Amino acid sequence: MLVCELIVLLQVVVTGQNVIHLAQGRLRGVAKDGYVSYTGIPYASITGTLGRFKRAGIAPLWPDIRNSRSSTCSLVSDAEPCLQLDVHVPSAGGGNWPVLVWVTGGSGPYSPGRMVHEGIIVVIVHHRLGPSGFLCLRDENIPGNAGVKDAVLALRWVRDNIVAFKGNAAKVVVAGQSFGAAMVEAILLSNMARGLYHGAILQSGSALCPWSFNYDAEKRAMALDNVSETKNELVKSLLDTETEDLVARGNKLNVPYFPFGMCVEKASKKEERLMFEAPRDILARKKNDTVPMIIGYNNNEAYVFVSMLREANVLRRISKSVTFLLPDDLKFLNERERKQTGRLIKDMYFKNNLTMAAVLAYHSHIHRSVRHHAATASVFYYQFSYSGDFGVQAEPGVPKRGAAHSDELAYLFFDGNLEREEGTVQRRVIKLWTNFVKHLNPSAQSDVKWEPTQPDTYRLLDIGTELSMIDYPHSKTSYLWDEIYEKYYYTRNRISN
């Protein structure tokens, strides 16, 4: 009997230690190996149908202890499961932990235990996706950018609540990968989030990528409903349409990349405005926030498209004409402009080199973003080039040389201890990223020399089997794409506000 009473007492003590008191109510965390996870915490709420596509409201309250739960946010989800975040806290004594706020770009999974072991808090932010998060009619009821505004509200929640988890609200780094990175850059370009973060990490994504930002967002929204005759009828129709139906309609749109992305909003007295101008214009005028940053890419990002390219017989088609490879977001006035640009691309990539590797070496918008930010802030530029057993698997017949899109996440968000060479890469990446969260300098208290890139040289850290500073290896192709996009994309997509 005494043993049973001691066990019950021990359970009560442990349970009590994992309960956090917030203004919203009490939370119970789940003890893990060296850290405690508090998952499924609501940081905002939606009121009624009219709030469906707008900035969310205040975080909800609850009367009893709220147990941790898994997020079930998806493209077709209602808002409630998406407006949640997870807080992972070191079990070790102490406190005043620096905070990494990770804005999700996909469904995950995100297992941050190895980073938490380094003495930081990791907050995983879920947000509205697809049409729920990025339908944009530039109207008071469907203003646009709801998903990014969710992330801003999550940052405000961190500012107000992270002290309850022994976190330091004055040491917050916001980060993301792919579309999550584009969202983080949009946050840097907005006045909504000023003062909520002190550094940023952009991995394989930028708000300058055409797949993240829609100049024609209003036209896309209108194309989802061909029946409504007036703007008011269209708004009512979209508000009343199920999310699953909106996703299906969006997938049928004849548009490049994703059907829904970020947009420039119209001024409104009823809604906070995230984005006043297009990202390129904000950066060109140096209106962005200037905080230390890590920005980078994987050296074989496009490898994830190998299967699709093979099915399209891309090499055979290139031998006849390269114009079909030109991005759909470029706006050519006539066939002569298209063919002229196609010849430039062919000479750059495929002259005496008609291979799948040349196709996969296609352009990236991330370097353009680096150039803008490096002019006003410390930017630690990187290229992740390690190819191991984790991440995207090699396709038969097409050697995987380097790291594909998202490969680095397998080393950041894997709770186990990898071995041999992969273990070395894992430890290095974890250390560099957590050093940046703690000190805004990945080289701090380390023998690694990672220098901020300079506007005249653009040197970066190559993260492979070894760590080495190198010159940016794609200067020639980046210059060509800069000219092409300036002429056929940015200049022809001006937005008048």
Q: Are residues 327 and 417 in the same domain?
A: yes
Domain boundary among 255, 290, 325: 290
Q: How far apart are CA 255 and CA 249, in angstroms?
A: 12
Average pLDDT, the chain: 88
pLDDT digits (tens, 9 = 90+) for 78-123: 888 899 999 999 998 888 999 999 999 876 789 999 999 999 999 9
Domain boundary among 261, 290, 319: 290
pLDDT at 127: 96
- Domain limits for position 325: 292-497
Q: Per-residue DSSP letters for 22-53? A: -SS-EEE-EE-SSEEEEEEEE--B--TGGGTT
Q: Are residues 218 and 126 in the same domain?
A: yes
Q: Are residues 409 and 465 in the same domain?
A: yes
pLDDT at 311: 66
Containing 156, the helix (H) or strand (E) segment is helix 146-161
Instruction: Strand 19-21: give its sheet, edge to edge.
Output: 19-21, 26-28, 66-67
pLDDT digits (tens, 9 = 90+) for 338-379: 989 988 888 887 777 666 666 656 557 899 999 999 999 999
pLDDT at 248 over 60: yes
Q: Are residues 303 and 165 in the same domain?
A: no
Domain boundary among 290, 312, 333: 290
pLDDT at 363: 58
Query: In one letter, which amino acid is 71?
Result: S
pLDDT at 178: 93
Q: Are residues 259 and 302 in the same domain?
A: no
Whole-prediction pTM: 0.91
How many domains are there within the chain? Answer: 2
Q: Are residues 350 and 461 in the same domain?
A: yes
Tell me, what CATH number does 18's domain have? 3.40.50.1820
Q: Identify the residue with better confidence: 215 or 197.
A: 197
| pLDDT (average), residues 293-320 | 78
Q: Are residues 421 and 484 in the same domain?
A: yes
Residues 6+ apart with CB under 8 A from 497: 264, 266, 267, 276, 277
Q: Are residues 346 and 399 in the same domain?
A: yes
Q: Are residues 277 and 299 in the same domain?
A: no
Which residue in 399, 361, 382 sits closest to 477, CA to CA? 361
Q: Are residues 431 and 300 in the same domain?
A: yes
